[in-house]
Chains A and B, each alone.
Chain A
Amino acid sequence: MSRVDVQNLTKRFPTVTALQSISFSFAHGEFFVLLGPTGAGKTTTLRLIAGLERQDEGSILLDGEPIDARTPAERDVAFVFQQYSLYPTMTVYDNLAFPLRSPLRKIPESVITTTVNEAAEKLRITHLLNRKTAQLSGGEMQRVAIGRAIVRAPRLFLMDEPLSNLDAKLRESLRVELKHLQKTQGSTTLFVTHDQIEALTMADRIAVLNEGRIVMQGTPEDIYDRPDTTFVAQLVGTPKINLLPANRRDGSVLVRGSAISVPAPRLALPESFLLGVRPEDIRPDPAGGFKGTVMLTEPLGVETILHLRSGELTLLSLVPGMARERVGEEIRFSIVHEKLHFFGPDNRRIAEQGH
């Protein structure tokens, strides 16, 4: 079993405070993702947990026991980096066997062979075992790097943007494989990324980090459907959520600079606030209540992004398939009322009553 509790970690560097009292926990078998922009403190967190760096305040617990005083080797965690850091002159087999051949472990060679072969099969690299790693493609190298982490059967996997050096197609397929592997192995994983798609698609739970603080924690559904702040709302989803300045009047929400209005929700709305609408919730609709001019279309194949001018606003709408709408055309559209987001002047979500 491995459960991780990170408690009030603070890390200061000479000119900057990288982490300000962050806390989070994840359970055995969980795939936990730290998501945030560059400089948010993600990698620092990972390095503190690995023991590569020492925190100034706070504590890290592995299965309830503080590990702050332990060396990296004593923590029994495996680190997978963005750069593969394999031994280029060794074969794939020897790279995989390397962590097991540590003199401290005294593992018989027959056991090493079995373990390496099993890992290779899981990662579909059996055919590469006799190759030198220098001869491999980026995707193959990263599989080997992951394999080297797996053979040790560590208590915890720490992964620092392991897919970000790969091209789009490889990233996609390795993402699916990594997730499948993690679930079938039941391994506890902390995965760091700046890529919101990686976070949404792979995580059991996500902690969003910004400027050294955790701004939200939750399942991918929580993060996407009920973002706590405008920062989180804008961080996930492509194209980005529409954030529209709005006012309350009688039973309606009026969007400033446009003729758009929606029924007011049962929320304690201030006088002026931001209305958030995801692009897929703005739909061209001949019977829709609003009008807009198509300024731009971006056909992506599976869907099309429409840039709609409505009053003084430009709205992004995401429609399925290759849209028929043409630039310059005036169309009618509707807004899905059930999926609206409301943010106060402090950029925080205005919570549903009773929450």
Chain B
Amino acid sequence: MDLNQAVDRIERFLLPLLSIGLALILFGLFCVCQGLNPLDVYASIYRAAFGRWSSFQNTLLRAAPLMLCSLCTILPAQTGLIVIGNEGALVIGALSATCVGMLVYGFAPFFAQLLMVFAGCLGGGLWIGLLGLLRAKRGVNETISGLLLNYVAIALLNFFVEGPIRDPASLNNPASFPLADSHLLGNLPGMRVHFGIIVGFVACLLSTWLIYRTPLGFSARVTGGNYRAAQIVGLSVNRLMIIFSIFGGAAAGLAGMIEVAAVHGRANDDLVAGYGYGGVLVAFVARQNPLVAIFVSVLVGGILASGGILQRVHDLPDSTVLIFQGLVFLCVLWSDSFYGKLNSLVPHFIHGSCHEIFNSSCAPEDISHG
């Protein structure tokens, strides 16, 4: 293997670790300022997130929607789009799955669940597909239109759960009619974790295969790498943008369906829990790689799961988790600017001397290595 490639690999492995280390140091300083021993706090977070099997299940419960939501950013990103409409796609997926679930109340569980999955994917897919379409056909910035559509989606959710599909029994916290008990997604055998974690895991693996192992994924990456070049070689760039947006939206819509069918049992305001925006950040931290997104989702899920114990043991409010999460994200995003730095240092000492010999012997006119 080429030296530069090896250095690149080391860097890709080292930089995320270093940036998480920096976040740990910064949050540790914050704990010291609050008069706490940071090591104690980290021990608690570790125990709450990964320490025991039962606490790791809490982590996985939170990781499942994050994985699916991160795909909503990762898949369109392959074609060069920056989508942050995940929250909206999740909400629309949940809403359409709920509506279908209410229609098929008496159906056999398997068919009902299948229809709900289909509705969730379709709702979310069309929602983000609209962003891709507007971008491809009219040049509308997908980041901003996604942000706008998040608000529209939340407004639609509120409209439906307070109007057409409101359960009159839900007085203080307006909600839709509940789904049939038999239609709810069960837990994995012997666990408190629902099937969503398997769905998220498989979806990430499928996306990895799609992006790195299929012609469609390759075309998408060419489009994202160089739009003009992709056009010139005859790829239908607009269609690729729309297709990958639909795939991404379908993943977030599926997350919404799972939140409804496995966690809440009905649609209400609790669906807007920040998993969408969390998914955007997971995607960026994973550098738009679905395989890495699995690990990042579990890590972030662990941080989210540690809120309760920080409050009980260290008397820290819920918001501490936000601070820690924010620091981790900021540090990892900052580390993006360091990629390639290591490589620009190393060849200077090793390659540099080789080039000098090469240059002096046969290529005096080549000054590019100077």
| Real binding pair | no
Q: Identify the A interface with B (CB < 8 A).
A: none
